[in-house]
Amino acid sequence: MIKVQFFSLLRMLLKQERIELSAIEGETVAQLLARLQKQLPTPFLHKLLDDDGRMHAGTIILVNRHNIHHLQGLQTPLNDNDVVAMFPPGAGG
Partner 1 sequence: MTADRYARQVIHWGEENQQKIADAVIMIAGVGGLGATVSQLLVRAGVGKLYLVDDGIVDWPDLNRQLLYGEGDIDRQKLPLAKERLSAINSTTEISLIGGQVDKNFVMPTDLNAVADCLDNYSSRFLLDELTPEGVFLVHGGLEGDHGQVLTLQAGQSQPMSEIFAGACQPEGSIPVTPDNVVVIAGLMVNELFAILFGRPKLLNRCLVVSLADFHMAFLDV
- Would you tell me which residues interact with partner 1 (CB under 8 A)? 5, 7-9, 11-12, 17, 55-62, 65-67, 69-70, 85, 87-93
List CB contacts of 61: < 8 A, sequence separation 6 or more: 29, 48, 55, 67, 68, 84, 85, 86
Q: Are 34 and 4 in contact (CB under 8 A)?
A: no
Tell the smallest beta-carbon distance from residue 17 to partner 1 (Å): 7
Tell the smallest beta-carbon distance from residue 27 to partner 1 (Å): 21
Judged by beta carbon, residue 35 or residue 47, the one nearer partner 1 is 47
Whether the CA torsion 88, 89, 91, 93 is positive or negative: it is: positive
Tell the smallest beta-carbon distance from residue 25 to partner 1 (Å): 25
